[in-house]
Amino acid sequence: MDDPVTDPATTAPACADLAQHAAAVSRCTACPRLVEWREQVARDKRAAYADEQYWGRPVPGFGDPEASVLVVGLAPAAHGANRTGRMFTGDRSGDWLYRAMHRAGLANQAASVDRGDGLALSGAYVSAAARCAPPANKPTTQEVATCRPWIDRELELLAPTLRVAVCLGAIGFNALWAILKARGDALPSPRPKFGHGVEVPLASGLTIICSFHPSQQNTFTGRLTEPMLDAVFTRAVELGTS
């Protein structure tokens, strides 16, 4: 890896645009546990993908640089985005997410298979609280905090057009809240409790919409249904264009 990034807090604020930001994210080595895990998964591979070259690096954000809707996920899946190199691509969570975004008019197609599949987002940008695939899909609190400058800078770069942040899961919501609090934004007190469909309008003009994460744990059990996810993105588009 050329010029590894060891301190996101220094590197992220210096990124002049989202392309530069993506290049910097993909070189990050700030969290040793995550570096070891993402590279181990890329070496060992799942049998179904034995012939594929895994990405095995941090995964940058993806989407429209003039987005009005930001989607904040948890972290790349070990054999999903850690394999394909694009957020929510190559796994069942991504299938659910991009189908919903396609139905809402935010994506040009419902399929998300690999980086070269032609998927393009319009009015939306997809990011995550952590950029590396974590063991057991659970980054530590410190790892999320270390990664926070990356999404903080994305928020700044998207600020001219951003109106809505859809947080997929409590970790994404907590990460976004921590950023806004650190900035000194006017936030409601007490902090709203995370729950599916919860909306938090902020004085800045940004509205946060909470959604259960489209993980198999939620979708297989019926805790999250496609109509529930559709309602979130329909509302996000409504707020993003108002």
Assigned domain for 2 exists: no
What are residue 226's phi and psi, to 5 degrees? Answer: -65, -40
- Given a contact cutoff of 8 angstroms between Cβ atoms, the answer to whether 72 and 167 are in contact is yes
For residue 183 the two structure tokens come to: 């900035």
Structure tokens at 47: 């049998």
Question: What is the structure's pLDDT at 1?
Answer: 54
Predicted confidence at residue 242, as pLDDT, reads: 80
**In-domain check, residue 32:** yes
Place of tokens 């950023």: 179
Residue 1 domain-assigned (yes or no): no
In angstroms, rounded to a whole number, what is the distance separating the alpha carbons of residues 120 and 85?
15
Query: pLDDT, tens digit, for every residue of 36-49?
Result: 999 999 999 999 99
Residue 199, CA atoms < 13 Å, CB-side half-sphere = 13
- Residue indicated by tokens 């190199």: 85
CA distances from residue 90 to 95, 111, 154 in whole angstroms, order as listed: 8, 9, 23
Q: What is the CATH number of the domain that holds 150?
A: 3.40.470.10
What domain range is 88 assigned to?
8-240
User: Does residue 150 lie within any of the structural domains?
Assistant: yes
What does the pLDDT read at residue 164?
99
Distance CA 38, CA 143 (A): 14
Give me the residues paired with residue 201 across strands. 207
In a domain, 178, yes or no: yes
Query: How many domains does the chain divide into?
Result: 1
Residue 100 located in a structural domain: yes
- 56: Cα separation from own chain's centroid: 17
Residue 140 belongs to a domain? yes
Tell me whether residue 3 is in a domain: no
Residue 126 near residue 117, CB atoms below 8 Å? no
**pLDDT tens, the chain, 242 aa long:** 578 999 999 999 999 999 999 999 999 999 999 999 999 999 999 999 999 999 999 999 999 999 999 999 999 999 999 999 999 999 999 999 999 999 999 999 999 999 999 999 999 999 999 999 999 999 999 999 999 999 999 999 999 999 999 999 999 999 999 999 999 999 999 999 999 999 999 999 999 999 999 999 999 999 999 999 999 999 999 999 98
